[in-house]
Amino acid sequence: MATLDELTQGLQELAAQHTALGTRLALAAGELQNLGTPPTVGLVDEVANYRQQFETLRNRAIALAKAKKINESAIPLNLVSVRELDAFVESLRQPSSQLLQSNPTQANPTQTDPIQAKPLMGNDMILGATPPGEWVSVVGLEVMVHIEGCGDRIVSDSDLAGTQGDARRLEGLLLSFSPRVAGLGIRYMGHLENVGDTPWVGEGQYVGTRGKGLRLEGFAAQLTGPEASKFDICYLGHFANYGDSQVMTNGILCGARGQGLTLEALKIWLNPIGS
């Protein structure tokens, strides 16, 4: 059975062997969409090899977690990215008693100051302004959105990312922990105009498009990893002509399919279960 150091080394080697694979895939996808050019055999083989190596490392990590007698309910069913898998492996270095504890206040002992959002022009822009009395997450989450006509902007969790009353659509989003939390991962997806549901992606991966004029019509997020059972991930959207949605949680789609909604802003935060 693989050791934790061997798993960590394996993940590092996987990343080194497939440098810029995501970029090459994105370029190939663009050529396929625009010109109908199929990806090269070499690229397809590399993707298959990457997936096989990733699944092998994931299976070994899960087997090691079971050997350490980690409660099966604390072992994530879906580890979809190298970042998530690396965080899961690092969490296994903790004593088993820490992995199994139920006190949510111990999930992130290090607190950091909120991230300040970049200012935007326009009186109707609301970006990084947390209304009084709103929730403050105990786990730091960075939210990056791509705003029509403004580009990428970053806010901290519990802050509204986007605009209100300015008719600017969101075209993409990216989520990441700040700082990273051992044993806690995240995955998320979007519902995109003329595309439909995107695949679920892991922490730090971009969902959506840039410069194609395609609006996000919905999104969902879900926590993964041994610490996931200690938190609810909560989120809402602000939609053109409708206003704020209800608060959704734990993988439920915020938005609608087939109704042509335009997502203009979103807010995401974590609540400790039992708080």
182-205 tens-digit pLDDT: 888 999 999 999 999 999 999 889
List of the chain residues with pLDDT < 70? 1-2, 19, 23, 71-80, 94-138, 275
Q: What pLDDT, on a 0 to 100 scale, did the predictor assign at position 77?
A: 59
CA-CA-CA-CA dihedral for 73, 75, 76, 81, to nearest 10? 180
In angstroms, rounded to a whole number, what is the distance separating the alpha carbons of residues 161 and 171?
12
Q: What pLDDT, on a 0 to 100 scale, did the predictor assign at position 120?
A: 30
Q: 125: number of CA atoms within 13 Å, CB side?
A: 14
Asked whether 102 and 90 are in contact (CB, 8 A), the reply is no
In angstroms, rounded to a whole number, what is the distance separating the alpha carbons of residues 259 and 168?
18
Q: What pLDDT, on a 0 to 100 scale, did the predictor assign at position 172?
A: 95
Q: What pLDDT, on a 0 to 100 scale, did the predictor assign at position 94?
A: 64
